[in-house]
Amino acid sequence: MGNQMTLYYAEVDESQRVSGAGGGLAEEGEFIEIFEWPVAKLDLLLQANPNRPPTSTTLLCALYWFKLNILPSLTI
């Protein structure tokens, strides 16, 4: 049996930011990590290149979902 990973997408502004946010319930095996990446640099994560930060297949799928479903409606 493999690992399970759940990804969530949320839009927040600076007034909603909580310093050091993340967490989860350790007793339930949860580890929540906030991943922030500039939208303008999205393609750097999606392109295969040796300088790309380590990224899981799950994260890459989520980034493609974001690029296809959310990014076109954003005004940046």
pLDDT tens for the 76 residues of the chain, in order: 567 777 788 888 888 887 777 778 889 888 877 777 888 889 888 988 888 888 888 889 999 999 999 999 988 7
Residue 28 is predicted with a pLDDT of 87
Residue 70 is predicted with a pLDDT of 93
Domain assignment present for 5: no
Residue 2 is predicted with a pLDDT of 66
Cβ atoms of 15 and 66 within 8 Å: the answer is no
Q: State which residues form the domain around 32.
A: 14-73
Number of domains in the chain: 1
Residue 5 is predicted with a pLDDT of 74
Tokens of 31: 């580890």
How many angstroms separate the CA atoms of 50 and 58, rounded?
19
Domain assignment present for 2: no
